[in-house]
Structure 1
Amino acid sequence: MKINYIIRNSIITILVFSLFSSPIYACTGITLLSKDGGVVVARTVEWALNDAQHNQLLVVPRNKEFKAQTPEGTNGKSWKAKYGFVTLTAYGQPYGPDGLNEEGLYVGVYYLPGFAEYAVYDSNNASKSMSVGDLMQWMLSSFKTVDEVILHLKDVVVVSVENKDFGGAELPFHFKIVDPSGNSRIIEIVNKGEVKIYEPYLGVITNSPTYDWHIINQRNYLNLSTYPNQQKNFGNYELNPIGGGSGFIGLPGDFTPPSRFVRAAAFTASCRPLDTSLDAVFESFRILDNFNIPLGAQVPVEKLPTDIVSATQVTSSCDLKEKVYYYHTMWNREVRKIDLKLIDFSEIKEQIIDDDIKKENTIKDVTPQHSKRKKASKK
C-alpha cells in the first residue's frame, strides 16, 4: 500500500454539495487539551436512516484472535490482540464510530463519501488484506501510539467488503487517531488504495471532501474573531453592534461537513482554559451540543424513521490521560462512563454493554414540597 504524507495545500474540484450533505454521515469531531496534560477527543455520531444501535458498546479482551474479511470471506490478515479496547458498535458489528484501547489510543471513523476509495482486491495479497472495519479493530488492538500505527500501515491493504447490514453499500471512511501524548493524524484512503496522512487542524474532523480541501476552505473565515465589532460612524449615523457575539458573525450554521468543520474549529480555537481533563470532557460535551441535529432538520417529513428520536444518536468524549470513555445517547442524555483502568483485559470476557435498554431519559424531580404535601405523601 503506497503511503503519501500530505502536509500541503492543493486545489480540489468542489463537487455538488448535496453529495456530502446527507444526514447519514453528519459526524463532527474535536480535540481539547487541559493544563494538567489531559487530551480529550470527542465527537457526535449521526445516522438518520434508522437505529444503528450505536449506543451498544463492545468490550474486547487482550489476546483475542482476529481474522480479517475480504471479498472472498474471512481469509484476510490474521493477528492477535496485544491490547484490550472498548468500542461503539453499529448494527451489531464488532466495530463502530470510535473506540479507546487500554493504552489510551483513540480511533474514530468518519464518513468520506465520494472520495474514499479502497484498494482493488488481489487474492495473492489476501494475507495482508482487510475490510475498513477490520482496520479499526487492528489499530485498536495492536498499537499504543500514533507513530506505531503510521509505521505499520504499510503492512496492510484495505479493500472493499460488502456488508448487508449497511444496506450492501461500501463504507467510505476516513480516520482520526490520537494517543495520550496528543500526537494525532487523519488517515484517508483514496485513489484505489493510496493512503494520505494529515496533521489535524485544531483536532477537528468532519466528512467530505478530503481533509486538504477543508484546510483551504478555512481561508474564507479568517475574519472570524471572539472580539465584538466596533462602533462606526456614517455621516450623522452612529452604529453600534447589536448584542454580543458580533465577532462570530458569518460563522456558518448549517449541517454540511464544510460548515461544521469551520464551526468546530472556531469553537475549539476560542475554548476557555481548562484546568483538568475532566473539565475538558464536559467542555467537549458543551461544544458538541452546537452540533446536535434534530431529526426533522435533515430528513424530509415523509422519510422520517420511526425507531429513532434524533439524528445525533451518540456523543462520546474520551479522556486519553485517564483512559475513560464517556458518552450519552439519543435515548438518555445522562453522561455515562467506562473506566478502562479498572478493567483487567487479560481476564474479562468479550461482552456488549447496553445501558439504553429502557430507552428513557432519566429525570430527577427536584420540585419543592410544602408541609401539607409532605404529610399527604406520608399517608
Structure 2
Amino acid sequence: MGGIVPMGWAGVSSAPMRNLFAMAVPALFAVPALACTALMITDTQGNAYSGKTMEFAARLPFEMVFVPAGTKAGSVAPPGREAVRFETRFPVLGVGVDPGLGNGTEMMVEATNDQGLSMNTNELDGSVTPSYPDGGKAGYLAATDLCLYLLGTCRTVSEVRKALESGEFRVWLPEIALMGNAKAPFHYVFFDRTGSGLVVEYLEGRQDIHDNPVGVATNAPDFGWHLKNLSNYAFLSNVDKNAGTFGGLKVEAPDSGSAMASVPSSQIAAGRFVKAAYYITHARKAGSPDEAVVTLGHILNNFDRVDGISIDRGSGAEGASRTSESSEVTQFTWMNDKARNRYYLRTINSLNFATFEIDRLTTIRRVVKVPLSSINDAALDGTRVLLDAAK
C-alpha cells in the first residue's frame, strides 16, 4: 500500500470485501463526489434526531457494520510513523465501505453509538493533512478511521472536541481510490443527544473545529462559508403572502406555498444548506419520538434524488468538472433516534426504512457486516438481519 503501515481490528477477515473493492475501483475513478445533506431536529421535549441522505454516482459496495464495545482496532500511518491502536468503549453501528488501505477496518461514512453520538462524512474538496511539529510521541490516525475511533471512545460532542484538541493523536488524510485517489476529501459532522453539533475540517494545513448552531451540513465550500451565506437569506419566512395590489388591481393567490418561493431549489451544496436550514427551522416540532422520526423522514425526502435527475456531461461540456458522464443518486437515507438508540436506514431499492435497535445488539461479540443490498423492503427488521449474520 505504498508504504502505509496497516493495523486492522483483531479477529475479523476482510478478504471478501477487499475482493469486491478490487473489482469496483477501476469503474469508480473520477466519478463525482458525494453530494450529501445532513441535518438534526429536536422534539418538544428537547430530544435530538439526526439524519442524512448519501448521494453518489456509482453503486459503492456499502455495508451495514456493527462494532461491539471492547473491539480492538488499529489505524494506518504514513511511512515511518506509528499508527494509533485503540479499543472501543461503546458499540458503533453504521454504514461503511472498505477504503482499501489494508488494515481491514471499514471507513464508517455515517454511524452512531449507544450514547446518542453520531457522525457522518460530507465531501469537502481541498482537504489536506494538517501540519504538525517535528517530534512528539503522538500516533497517527487515518481520517478514514476517525468515525470509529471517536464514536467508539466518546459520548458527547464536547468529548469529541476535547479528544481532537488533546494532541494525543495526529489525524492524517490518506488517498482513497474510491474517491479518485483524493486525500480523504471530507468534513466530519457530529451531533449528540443534547442537540449539540460540531463540524471538523482539515484545510490549509489546519484542523478547524466549528460549533454547528444551525444543525445542517452539506458539502464544499467550507462550513464557515455556508454560515455566512445564510445572511443572504435573512428575509426567509414561512408566512405566505397571498394578497397584493398592482396599480389598481387587487390580486389573491389561488393556493398557498408562496413563502417558499425564495428557498433555493438547486441541488448544489449551497442551495441544499439553505433549504435544509429553512426546513428544520420551520417544521413543526413533534410531540413524541415516533412523530419526530416521521417528521425527519419527510424533511429528508426533499433531498432524495433518482437516477438521471441531474447529469454531469463530463469533460468539455457545460460547467463540467468531471471526466465522464454521471448522475448522482441517493444511495441511502439514514436517521438516528438518539434517545431511544434506534437507527433507521432506507436503501436505494426501498420505499421504507429498516429499523436497527442498538440495545438489542449487545449480545453480539464480534464485528458484523452485511451488504446494504440485504437491507430492503423484505427485511425491515434490520436488528434481526445483523443478529442472524452474527450466528
TM-score bin (small chain): 0.7 to 0.9
- Identify the match of residue 148 of structure 1 among 152, 156, 159: 159
**Which of residues 324, 328, 338 is equivalent to 2:356?**
338
Matches within 5 A, 1:144-223: 144-154=155-165, 155-192=168-205, 194-223=206-235
1:51 match: 59
1:22-61, aligned counterparts within 5 Å? 23-48=32-57, 50-54=58-62, 56-61=63-68
CA distance in structure 1 between the partners assigned to 2:182 and 2:298 by the alignment: 34
Q: CA deviation at 1:198?
A: 2.0
Tell me, yes or no, if the aligned pair for 1:67 and 1:74 is still in contact at 8 Å. Answer: no
The alignment partner of 2:41 has SS state of strand
Whole-Å separation in 2 of the counterparts to 1:162 and 1:74 = 16
Q: Match for 1:170: what amino acid?
A: K
User: Distance in 2 between the 1:266 and 1:209 partners?
Assistant: 19
One of 239, 260, 271 as aligned partner of 1:259: 271
Give a deviation string over 1:56-75, Cα, whole Å, max 9, x none: 21111111122221222894
* Alpha-carbon contact 2:143-2:184 (below 8 Å) kept: yes
1:243 alignment partner in structure 2: 255
Code of the residue aligned with 1:57 in structure 2: it is M
Counterparts of residues 1-379 of structure 1 (less than 5 Å)? 23-48=32-57, 50-54=58-62, 56-72=63-79, 75-91=82-98, 94-114=106-126, 116-120=127-131, 124=135, 127-154=138-165, 155-192=168-205, 194-300=206-312, 303=324, 311-344=329-362, 347-354=364-371, 356-357=373-374
Amino acid in the other structure paired with 2:61 = Q
1:372 aligned residue: none
Query: How far apart, in 2, do the equivalents of 1:296 and 1:121 lie?
Result: 44
Change (3 A) 1:291 1:106: same
Q: 1:340 to 1:362 in 2, by over 3 A?
A: closer
Residues in 2 aligned to 1:202 and 1:316: alpha-carbon distance in whole angstroms: 19
Identity %: 22
Q: Compute the displacement of 1:277 (Å).
A: 2.1
Write the letter of the residue equivalent to 1:321: A
Q: Quick one: distance in 2 between partners of 1:78 and 1:61?
A: 16
The superposition leaves residues 247-285 of structure 1 with CA deviations (integer Å, 9 ceiling, x where unpaired) of: 111111111100000000111111112012222112111
The structure richer in strand per residue is: 2
| Contact 2:175–2:183 under 8 Å retained in 1 | yes
Which residue identity does 1:33 align to in structure 2? T
In structure 2, the CA distance between the partners of 1:312 and 1:217, relative to structure 1 (3 Å rule), is: same
Gaps of 5+ in 1: 1-21, 364-379
Of 120-129 and 313-322, deviating more is 120-129
SS in 2 for 1:218: helix
Distance 1:73 1:289 in 2: 47
- Equivalent position amino acid for 1:317 in 2: M
Deviation, structure 1 residue 323: 0.7
**Consecutive aligned runs of 4 or more in structure 1 exceeding 6 Å deviation:** none
What secondary structure does 1:220 align onto?
helix
Q: Distance in 1 between matches of 2:378 and 2:251?
A: 47
1:43 alignment partner AA: K
Tell me the secondary structure at the aligned position of residue 199 of structure 2: strand
Deviation at 1:124, TM superposition (A): 4.6
| CA shift digits 1:283-342 (9 cap, x unpaired) | 11111111112221233478566xxx9710010000110111111010122210110111
Q: TM-score, normalised by structure 1?
A: 0.81
Work out the CA distance in 2 between the residues paired with 1:272 and 1:24. Answer: 33
Alpha-carbon RMSD:
2.5
Q: Distance in 2 between matches of 1:144 and 1:236?
A: 63
Q: Distance in 2 between matches of 1:235 and 1:160?
A: 61
Give the letter for the 1:350 counterpart. Answer: V
Alpha-carbon distance in structure 2 between the residues aligned to 1:247 and 1:164: 44
Q: Deviations over 1:88-111 (max 9, x none)?
A: 012476123210112221111111
Unaligned runs of 5+ residues in structure 2 are 1-30, 100-104, 315-323, 380-391
Deviation at 1:162, TM superposition (A): 2.1
**For the residues of structure 2 that align with 1:285 and 1:216, how far apart are their CA atoms?**
27
Per-residue CA deviations over 1:208-237 (Å, capped at 9, x if unaligned) read 111111111111112221111142223222
Partner of 1:7: none
What letter corresponds to residue 105 of structure 1 in structure 2?
L
Checking the alignment, whether the CA contact within 8 Å between 1:26 and 1:45 is kept in structure 2 is yes
Aligned residue pair count: 333
Q: Which amino acid aligns with 1:208?
A: A
Task: Tell me the SS of whatever aligns to 1:215.
Answer: helix
Equivalent position of 1:11 in the other structure:
none
Q: Secondary structure at the match of 1:89?
A: strand
